[in-house]
Amino acid sequence: MKKIESNFSTGVTETQEIHLRDYLIVLKKRRTTIFTFLLITLLFVTIGTFSMSPIYTASTQVLIEENYGSNNIEGTYTYNRYDQSFINTQLKIITSSNVIKRAVRQLQLDSKYRNYFLDKKNNNQFLFFEFLNQKIVDLFKSISSQDPILSGDSPDDSKLLKKSEPISDAEIIVDLIKDNLSIKPEHDTKVLNIIYSHQHPGIAKLVTNFLIRSYKEELQEIKHSSSSDTLKWMTEKAELERKKLEHSEIALQAYMRKNDIITVEDKLAIYPQKLAEFSSQLSILQAERKRLESTYSQIKEAKEHSNDLETIPVIADNVVLQVIREKIYASEQNIKQLSKTYGYKNPVMISAKEELTSLRKAKEVEIKRVIDATKNAYDLAISQEKNITDLLNSTKDELLNLNEKYVQYSIMQREVNTNSILYDTLTASLKKASVTEQSQSVNVWVIEEASLPQHPSKPKKAINLLIGIVFGFLGGACLAFFFEYLDNTVKSPEEIEKRFGIKVLGAIEELTQKGQKIESLVNEEPLSPFAESYRLIRSSILLSSVDHPPRLMLITSMAPSEGKTSTTVNIARILAQSDKKVLIVDCDMRKPRQHSLFSLPNSIGLSSYLTGNTKDKIVQQVPGEDIALITAGPNPPNPAELLDSARMKKLLIQLSESYDFVLLDSPPIQSVTDSLTLSTLVDGTIIVLRSGKTTYDILSNGLNKLESINAHLLGFVLNGVSETSGGKDYYHGYYKYYSKEERKKTVN
């Protein structure tokens, strides 16, 4: 399974594989939801199970066979073939209303044993149906009184509506028995298990055993009833199938004559062999054509340089040319020898030169002949390749055409065979029905009678509880994944970095112990995993720039209550532990908190300096710590304008020269524009997020605002990471390591 994520910095959509551990993390995170759903489900199942009335089940086994022979003695057993359709027919007869109604009437279930079926508890559903039926009758009566057709022209229909009566007790009991009656055939046998359930064990046994008797009586009536309608239907059906068979046979013969289908099978055997031969020949011709094409291309390229022609293998290996070249060489050597004795005008020299010229002309003629022969061979190879390709394609087309004809022939042949089988089957059945019309019967043997149930069959408490546990867990898991799907909040550093392409400086573990103050825990437990996570953030900040670490840093968040103020304090304390001069400036002049965390006065602060209302020193030293603080001061009416003033810019320049690190605690980005203004005045901005609270929509919107003003983002700090949020693994090994070290030091 995969999930899609988009990278904020690159705009590229990435596909990330979802692993099994991701599902386990979701289940662990939503374990409260799963456990709650499981408890509720189990509670309902338990209440429903233990509030149900006990049900007793009685069963009997019967062997049912169709008597195929006319001379069988009544009651004797003869082996007959297994017929599923016959078994299914008998199942329908046993569970039919006629058989059950016969049992109700003979057992007097609607009078003598009425209270076992029609008490107030069991009859509520039928009272509802009776009420519904009465309402329908009243509706038809109102329509018939207004409709002139029903009131005048159709008096019989109107009388039928008026004579409608409620459901009788016998009909109600029949429906009750049918609802609790089941027939289960034994696999590959003719043995049937007739099972009936009731709240009273005696009634269950009585009804189960008597149903067999009612079934036998019903079979007797069916046996002696007229079968003329069946014979008539079978005769008509056989005639219809005979006509369909004749029509399909005629159509098959016509198709065979039209398409010469008799020779198709022989051709289908020959054509694949021809295709293989043509393919082999085509491969040989293609290889030969490519060879000649390569040779001819060399000849055409070498024509511009006649000396290169003789280096081509087809010309260089020519026997005639080899002889001529040898003669030319001998003639040239002869001329050299004669030139030493005779002059150029000597008849002997002239004769020798004429012989050399003749040999050279003969060489040129032979080269031209070889070139022409090569071209002719190349043209012939192209023609042969085209011819064999056309022959191969035509053979393929003929084979496809033959296949289509043969497929259609096979379809028509199957239709003829199917119609023939149906016709033969109907004809045989019709003959058998005519012969055995008076002797056909069904043999029924009771193999095992129903006994009195000793223990209730329902409810199955253990199974119900087990099913409740399984479905409760599965339902809770589905609900957990649904809630997780709806959850659009940040959870882990890895997911944030993959979505936005911006570094996560560190993740802060959520504090679970009561009484722990996040603002002072760094000083109180310096070797705790919590303190080490801030040291990791310090390292990330110091390495965030190439030349030197950022001096002016803005720390903000997307929304309130995400931990920006406590994060500012803890980062300042961690930086101060490195013998650095650190200053915190509380720029949140709407809801300042820094002065209360350090227990310092806020009567004079940043707002006092920016408005020019004080000449006193606004920097306060935190008692007992190497941290300085500029409080927010009195709340001004226009904090955004003050933070964007030239006086604020001048102040930041002076502070950056006096301190190693200046941390600005500013309001959330989504609330006001203060942080956007300050982000353009600092070396970098750190955004504090809250795991499980900050949504990706809010974060994306805030990042767009910062990107529009070209703010420099140092990275994110993820607060409130828990074991089940998916981000705990980010520093899990680190936490574990430092937890062990801290325990060792404590022991020592």
pLDDT digits (tens, 9 = 90+) for 537-575: 888 888 877 677 899 999 999 988 888 999 999 999 989
**pLDDT, position 76:** 46
SS (H, E, C) 46-92: HHHHHHCCCEEEEEEEEEEEEECCCCCCCCCCCCCCCCHHHHHHHHH
In terms of C-beta density within 10 A (0-12 exposed, 13-18 middle, 19 or more buried), how is residue 556 classed?
buried
Cα dist from 10 to 175, 386, 491, 656, 695, whole Å: 70, 54, 21, 33, 20
**pLDDT, position 733:** 45
Question: Measured between alpha carbons, how far is 249 from 243 in angstroms, rounded to an integer?
Answer: 10
**Between β-strands 191-198 and 56-67, what pairing exists: parallel, antiparallel or unpaired?**
antiparallel
Residue type, 44: F
Chain centroid offset of residue 254 CA: 52
Which is nearest to 289 in space by CA: 383, 390, 368, 367?
383
Which is nearest to 568 in space by CA: 557, 579, 578, 559?
557
Average pLDDT over every residue of 470-492: 87
**pLDDT, position 650:** 92
Structure tokens at 603: 């009567």
Mean pLDDT highest for which of 207-216, 679-688, 690-699? 679-688
Select the more confidently predicted residue: 574 or 339.
574
Question: Measured between alpha carbons, how far is 197 from 204 in angstroms, rounded to an integer?
Answer: 6
Cα dist from 537 to 530, 533, 562, whole Å: 11, 6, 17
**pLDDT, position 739:** 47
**pLDDT, position 266:** 58
Question: Measured between alpha carbons, how far is 469 from 41 in angstroms, rounded to an integer?
Answer: 8
Structure tokens at 26: 């979701």
Q: Is residue 685 a contact partner of residue 553, using CB atoms and an 8 Å limit?
A: yes
Confidence of residue 316 (pLDDT cuts 50, 70, 90): confident
pLDDT digits (tens, 9 = 90+) for 396-406: 777 777 777 77
Select the more confidently predicted residue: 21 or 446.
446
Q: Is the pLDDT at 714 greater than 50, yes or no?
A: yes
Which is nearest to 718 in space by CA: 457, 491, 438?
491
Would you call the peptide bond into 272 cis, given omega within 30 degrees of 0 as the criterion? no
Q: What is the mean pLDDT of the chain?
A: 79
Select the more confidently predicted residue: 592 or 342.
592
**pLDDT, position 307:** 64
Select the more confidently predicted residue: 144 or 692.
692
**pLDDT, position 746:** 38
**pLDDT, position 410:** 77
Average pLDDT over every residue of 339-353: 81
**Beta-carbon count within 10 A of 488 CB:** 11
Question: Measured between alpha carbons, how far is 545 from 100 in angstroms, rounded to an integer?
Answer: 91
**pLDDT, position 334:** 83
Average pLDDT over every residue of 607-619: 87
The helix/strand count (H/E) of the chain reads as: 27, 14
Average pLDDT over every residue of 235-246: 81
Name the DSSP class of 492: -
Average pLDDT over every residue of 436-465: 79
Backbone angles phi, psi at 40, to 5 degrees: -65, -45
Select the more confidently predicted residue: 263 or 654.
654
Confidence of residue 680 (pLDDT cuts 50, 70, 90): very high
Burial call 689-704: b when 16+ CB within 10 Å, e when fewer: bbbbbbebebbeebbe
pLDDT digits (tens, 9 = 90+) for 54-98: 888 999 999 888 766 544 444 444 555 667 888 888 888 888 888
* CATH code of domain 262-435: 1.10.287
Question: Measured between alpha carbons, how far is 445 from 450 in angstroms, rounded to an integer?
Answer: 14
Q: Is the pLDDT at 150 greater than 50, yes or no?
A: no
**pLDDT, position 80:** 56
Average pLDDT over every residue of 366-376: 82
Weakest mean pLDDT among 108-122, 155-169, 586-600, 606-620: 155-169
**pLDDT, position 227:** 57
Select the more confidently predicted residue: 717 or 116.
717
Question: Measured between alpha carbons, how far is 15 from 22 in angstroms, rounded to an integer?
Answer: 15
Chain centroid offset of residue 331 CA: 88
Confidence of residue 138 (pLDDT cuts 50, 70, 90): low
Which is nearest to 501 in space by CA: 13, 11, 15, 7?
7
**pLDDT, position 685:** 94
Which is nearest to 40 in space by CA: 575, 601, 473?
473
Q: Is residue 201 a contact partner of residue 56, using CB atoms and an 8 Å limit?
A: yes
**pLDDT, position 180:** 87
Say whether pTM exceeds 0.75: no
Weakest mean pLDDT among 484-493, 591-600, 739-748: 739-748
Name the DSSP class of 186: P
Q: What are the start-end ranges of the H helices in 508-558?
A: 521-524, 529-542
Average pLDDT over every residue of 491-514: 84
Question: Measured between alpha carbons, how far is 79 from 429 in angstroms, rounded to an integer?
Answer: 20
pLDDT digits (tens, 9 = 90+) for 174-215: 888 888 898 888 888 888 899 998 888 888 888 988 888 888
512-747 is a CATH 3.40.50.300 domain: yes
Q: Is residue 367 a contact partner of residue 308, using CB atoms and an 8 Å limit?
A: no
Where do the structural domains in the chain lie, given as residue ranges? 2-52+460-486, 262-435, 512-747
**pLDDT, position 443:** 83
Select the more confidently predicted residue: 326 or 278.
326
Question: Measured between alpha carbons, how far is 689 from 711 in angstroms, rounded to an integer?
Answer: 18
SS (H, E, C) 675-717: HHHHHCCCCEEEEEEECCCCEHHHHHHHHHHHHHCCCCEEEEE
Q: Is residue 507 a contact partner of residue 721, using CB atoms and an 8 Å limit?
A: yes
Name the DSSP class of 622: P
Mean pLDDT highest for which of 171-185, 377-391, 479-493? 171-185
User: What share of the chain has pLDDT > 70, as a percent?
Assistant: 79
Bridge partners (DSSP) listed for residue 67: 441
Structure tokens at 391: 């022959």
Chain centroid offset of residue 663 CA: 48
**Beta-carbon count within 10 A of 280 CB:** 11
Mean pLDDT highest for which of 162-176, 437-451, 540-554, 574-588? 574-588
Burial call 323-338: b when 16+ CB within 10 Å, e when fewer: ebbebbeebeeebeeb
Select the more confidently predicted residue: 116 or 524.
116
Confidence of residue 619 (pLDDT cuts 50, 70, 90): very high
Which is nearest to 210 in space by CA: 179, 181, 176, 169?
181
